[in-house]
Amino acid sequence: MTQDEMKKEAGWAALKYVIKGGIIGVGTGSTVNHFIDALGSVKDEIKGAVSSSKASTEKLEALGIQVFDCNDVEKLDVYIDGADEINPTRDMIKGGGAALTREKIVAAISDTFVCIVDGTKTVDVLGKFPLPIEVIPMAREQVSRELKKLGGDPVYREGVLTDNGNIILDVHNMQITDPKALESTLNNIPGVVTNGLFAHRGADIVIIGTPEGTQFIE
Ligand code: 5RP
């Protein structure tokens, strides 16, 4: 089974958590793209979606799913999104697709975060995947210096601008022993918009696509 087949398995399995008549929070990435395809098959049974990126919005609208502005929706029952890594306590690294800030915002208004991943994304300790950080462009070098003081090796993601017009630093070799504490520390660096640690608001439910079948951790 390929990695993409595992992603598809997880993406389609997430339909289980789609509430009829509801507005669904939709993340970003290749696993979520499978979920959006699945959502298209029940589009007449939902009211619409709140999207975490321009890319997901385009895909949702192409399937005829109405996309609501996040400012017009106070609360969502469920948010469905992928991750780059997830640990046993359901803390995640996200942002491989540079959509972390909007993902964190939509996750924040959602009662339940359903994380959809393929079997390669589960880890005991976060940090092998470089931690993405969205940074205001003028703060790139200053934030890089601060990240080095924290033991990380930041690498500027060349040629990438986020949907919010900012840049991404991917931080290698970061020791993530306390994800919540590090998430807060990174957010306190002036110029950091968001970091890719989702620990204060981790996942509630995890769906893992594997060659042996779909696992649901509820
Ligand atoms: C985008 C994300 C994605 O959820 C994460 O990168 C996983 O992507 P994929 O499903 O393509 O492996 O955080 O910012």
Examine the domain organization and report whether 142 and 94 are in the same domain.
no
Give the mean pLDDT of 37-42: 98
Same structural domain, 182 and 75: no
Nearest to 91, CA basis, from 173, 168, 204, 185: 204
pLDDT of residue 45: 97
The per-residue pLDDT for 164 is 98
For the chain, give the longest Cα–Cα distance: 52
- The total number of structural domains that make up the chain: 2
Residues sharing a CB contact under 8 Å with residue 168, sequence separation 6 or more, in sequence order: 95, 98, 132, 133, 134, 135, 156, 157, 160, 162
> Is-catalytic flag, 103?
yes
Residues 56 and 102 in one domain: yes
pLDDT tens figures, 155-177:
999 999 999 999 999 999 998 99
Please provide the DSSP assignment of 46-72 as one string: S-EEEESSHHHHHHHHHTT--EE-GGG
Return the pLDDT at 175.
Answer: 86
My answer on whether 146 and 73 are in the same domain is no
Q: How far is the CA of 83 from the centre of ligand 1 (A)?
A: 5
Domain of residue 139: give its range: 131-195
Among 93, 175, 179, 105, smallest CA distance to 133 is for 93
For ligand 1, the distance from its centroid to the CA atom of residue 129, given in whole angstroms, is 12
Tokens of 100: 């972390």
Tokens of 4: 């993409």
Same-domain status, 95 and 182: no
Q: What is the pLDDT of residues 44-94, one digit of tens each?
A: 999 999 999 999 999 999 999 999 999 999 999 999 999 999 999 999 999
Q: Is 134 in the pocket of ligand 1 (CB under 6 A)?
A: no
Q: What angle do CA 184, 188, 193 make, to 5 degrees?
A: 95
97: confidence class by pLDDT, cuts 50, 70, 90 = very high
Catalytic residue among 5, 45, 74, 103: 103
CATH code of the domain containing 63: 3.40.50.1360
Instruction: State whether 26 and 75 are in the same domain.
Output: yes
Same domain flag for 112 and 181: no
Same domain, 169 and 106: no
- Identify whether residues 142 and 35 lie together within a single domain: no
Q: Quick one: average pLDDT of 208-213?
A: 96
98-154 pLDDT, tens per residue?
Answer: 999 999 999 999 999 999 999 999 999 999 999 999 999 999 999 999 999 999 999
- The band of 212, judged by pLDDT with boundaries at 50, 70 and 90, is very high
User: Whose CA is closest to atom 6 on ligand 1?
Assistant: 96
Q: The domain that contains 188 carries what CATH number? A: 3.30.70.260
Residue 196's Cβ-count burial label (10 Å; 0-12, 13-18, 19+) is buried
Co-location of 190 and 211 in the same domain? no
